[in-house]
Amino acid sequence: MAFLFAYSSPIMCKATNFNTHSHLQDLSYIRRAAQISDKSAGFSSPHPNFGCLIATRSGDVAGEGYLYAQGTKPAEVLAVEAAGERSRGATAYVNMEPGDCHGDHSAVSALVQAGITRAVIGMRHPLQHLRGNAIRALRSQGLQVDVLGEDMQSKLVEEAQKACLLVNLPLIYRAASRVPFSVLKYAMTLDGKIAASSGHAAWISSKLSRNRVFELRGRSDAVIVGGNTVRRDNPRLTARHGGGHMPTRIVLSQTLDLPEEANLWDLSDVSTVVVTQRGARRSFQSFLASKGVEVVEFDILNPRDVMEYFHDRGYLSILWECGGTLAASAISSGVIHKVFAFVAPKIIGGKNAPSPVGELGMVEMSQALDLIDVCFEQIGPDMLISGFLQPIPDLTPTIPSEDETFAIDPTVTRFESSIIFFYKTWDPYGAFSNFSPHPIQMPDEDGNYASWSSVEHYYQANKFIGVGNPLAQDWIEKIKSAKSPEEAARMGRLMQRQHPHLVRSDWESVKIDVMYRALKCKFSIYPHLNSMLLSTAGSVLVEASPHDLFWGGGREGEGLNYLGRLLMQLRAEFLGESSAASENSCIAL
């Protein structure tokens, strides 16, 4: 996280010896790559934060770039574009090995084609199926590749390596533990209370500290509170620091004894998911559903199961802003990785005033959990104390791939071998996802072809096509120019939720066809995608989305899996197994 680093300016570290690659300069530039990669924290999820800096032989910074969001131009492409001709013979610094997961190797190609002769890499990709691929590819193209900790070693190298680890902690923890990276944050008085005995808590920490909380929210995929915090505080849990990413709000409530009027049921800015015990207050569940709030039921509501569920939904990082009851349960379940405690110089007293962590069952001080890598930072009048509850996972030996994990421990086998699951674009078959960054050319109502950045862009915009309302037209354009497939999805869903009357009346009956045509285009014009699809012949394809019960397979196979079905239909058509192949309505890019 940006505020954890004390970066030195790259210009200050400019090399004085033009013929050697100064060790210090390398480390300064790799830290800078980590720093810029962090600019998109929150937006880039579920992709890692990638930053790239190009330095000329004389040590000048020629270009920089970072991945803005999933599906946007890779950091390396942006950096060499910015450096232009100065890339020839230059060194590229990247905080993490590129994950060329779409078969187009765009990051590696960009560096090679730009004439980069050396790459310094902060860390290998943490996902096994991507790990080492880009490094091998670069070396095979004749580049000198130095990986921190492997080809370069020293105390200072270790520190720079750590900077690279820190910007991608969520991915590293998530890959190692199969739950999202979770941060417990709370604000307490100097006498250790998170509210007065009455339950009143607004505010303990200063405005400056609360602004920092907005930043923390902005870099998280979701914020969690317990039912009691909803009843007591009526929180909004939005990131209000201006222009940032908005996390999903998650409420954990066993009883579902929640108020009908609550800020969290207002979905104008962002969605809310309520997680509850199976069968709890069915009428209230219907009420929430009528507001557009998603309800997910669990047989037994415990933080580990809930986190595994959100891991499967693709969440990388979660901020827990609950009270002590749920915090204790989450810590006991081993799902909290890091703590941010804002301590305000105030005393409220009160024998029954709540404290940040409830009962953990410990009886001796020797049992206390020691935080690791503790940082102290003054924020206005408050002190922010942060540290890890669990050490950063060791990446060597490498984190086993899902396949290996299932082989080692058959009890975790979720999938049968004849089923190929895909979901996130970085999965081995991630290119099947509609979020994969493969532009398509599709005809409009008049038969004129237009380019769409991804299948998702095209699909979402189609919801509003043909509606005689200028607002709908406006949204089509907005979705079309969305910076990433995720942004397009967010915009399309938000608009559909907020203004259902702007959705074309035949949407439900045409949406499968819209998707089919878009997929047909995608898998026709990219030969490597076509080969990948054909290589799955004989296997069932399932989009492993646990929450999308129409396009995805659902959590327990209850979803209709229409995306998987369409891909299998297309596969059969491409293999000539079906006579029902319809006319191809797209043109090559």
Ligand X SMILES: NC(=O)C1=CN([C@@H]2O[C@H](COP(=O)(O)OP(=O)(O)OC[C@H]3O[C@@H](n4cnc5c(N)ncnc54)[C@H](OP(=O)(O)O)[C@@H]3O)[C@@H](O)[C@H]2O)C=CC1
Ligand Y SMILES: Nc1c(N[C@@H]2O[C@H](COP(=O)(O)O)[C@@H](O)[C@H]2O)[nH]c(=O)[nH]c1=O
By beta-carbon proximity to ligand X, the closer residue of 342 and 464 is 342
User: Could you give the CA distance from residue 374 to residue 388 in angstroms, rounded to a whole number?
Assistant: 7
* Minimum distance from residue 145 beta carbon to ligand Y (Å): 44
- Rounded Cα distance between 333 and 177, Å, is 13
Helix (H, G, I), strand (E, B) or coil at 317: strand
Under rule CB under 6 A, residue 382 binds ligand Y:
no
Q: Which two tokens stand for residue 500?
A: 């259902």
Three-state secondary-structure class, residue 477 = helix
| Residue 316 binding ligand X, by CB under 6 A | no
Closest to ligand X by CB, 53 or 353: 353
Active site residue 76: yes
Choice between 58 and 197, CB closer to ligand Y = 197
Paired strand residues for 382: 379
Structure tokens at 231: 């009843």
Residue 237 contacts which entry, ligand X, ligand Y, none (Cβ below 5-8 A, type-dependent):
ligand Y
Burial class, 75, CB count within 10 angstroms (exposed 0-12 / middle 13-18 / buried 19+): buried
Backbone angles phi, psi at 222, to 5 degrees: -155, 155
Q: Is residue 321 near ligand Y by the rule CB under 6 A?
A: yes
The one segment of 105-113, 230-238, 244-252, 545-553 that binds ligand Y by CB under 6 A: 230-238
Find which of ligand Y, ligand X, none residue 254 binds, CB within 5 to 8 Å per kind.
ligand X
Tokens (6 digits) for 495: 């608009």
From ligand Y, ligand X, none, interface partner of 203 (C-beta below 5 to 8 A by class):
ligand Y
Q: Does 138 bind ligand Y (CB under 6 A)?
A: no
Q: How far is the CB of 125 from ligand Y (least distance, A)?
A: 35
Q: Residue 394: how many CA atoms within 13 Å on its side-chain side?
A: 2
Which is nearest to 91 in space by CA: 118, 52, 130, 62? Answer: 118
| Token pair of 523 as six digits | 């898998």
For the window 344-363, what string marks contact with ligand X as x by the rule CB under 6 A?
A: ----------x---------
Taking the least distance from each CB to ligand X, the nearer of 232 and 517 is 232
Active-site residue (options: 64, 76, 456, 486) = 76
Nearest to residue 220, comparing CAs of 43, 387, 386?
A: 43
> By CB under 6 A, is residue 213 in contact with ligand Y?
yes
Count of residues that interact with ligand X, criterion CB under 6 A: 30
Q: Scanning residues 183 to 202, which ones bind ligand Y (CB under 6 A)?
A: 187, 201-202
Among 301, 369, 465, 549, binds ligand X (CB under 6 A): 301
Smallest separation (angstroms) from ligand X to the CB of 300: 9
Nearer to ligand X, 343 or 489 (CB): 343
Q: How far apart are CA 485 and CA 220, in angstroms?
A: 18
Decide if residue 325 touches ligand X (CB under 6 A): yes
The answer to whether the beta carbons of residues 68 and 42 sit under 8 Å apart is no
Tokens of 109: 């190609």
In the numeric block, the tokens 């078969």 are attached to: 103
204 binds ligand Y per the rule CB under 6 A: yes
Using a 10 angstrom Cβ sphere, with 0-12 exposed, 13-18 middle and 19 or more buried, the burial of residue 480 is middle
Half-sphere exposure of 558 (CA within 13 A, CB side): 6
- Which residues ranging from 328 to 357 are in contact with ligand Y (CB under 6 A)? 342
Phi and psi based region of residue 388 (left: phi greater than 0; alpha: psi -120 to 50; beta: remaining) = beta
For residue 442, what is the enclosing H or E element?
strand 440-443
CB of 244 to ligand Y, least distance (A): 13
Q: Does 238 bind ligand Y (CB under 6 A)?
A: yes
Q: Which CB, 1 or 572, lies closer to ligand Y?
A: 1
Residues that are catalytic? 76
Interface residues with ligand X (CB under 6 A) are 186-187, 194-195, 199, 201, 204, 225-229, 232-233, 252-255, 257, 301-303, 321-326, 329, 354
The footprint of ligand Y (CB under 6 A) covers 187, 201-205, 209-210, 213, 225, 229, 233, 235-238, 321, 342
